[in-house]
Amino acid sequence: MSTVPVRACLAPAYPPAVRDLRWAVAGLALVTALVGGCSEKQEANATLPSTTAAETTEALPEIGPADFPVPDEARTKDAAGAEAFLRYYVELSNRQQEQLDGQPLRDLGPECQECLRIAHNFDEVAAAGQRYEGGEITLNDVTPPQMSGDRATIIFGARQEAVRIVDGAGKVVNPGLEAKPNLGSGISLVWSAEDQTWLVEGLNIG
pLDDT in tens, 34-49: 234 434 444 444 444 4
CB 162 within 8 A of CB 172: no
Alpha-carbon gap, residue 116 to 147, rounded angstroms: 24
65-76: per-residue pLDDT in tens?
A: 999 999 999 999
**Are 32 and 56 in contact, with CB atoms under 8 Å apart?**
yes
The reported pTM is: 0.74
Pairing between strand 180-192 and 151-160?
Answer: antiparallel
Q: Looking at the domain 16-29+68-205, which fold is it?
A: Nuclear Transport Factor 2; Chain: A, (3.10.450)
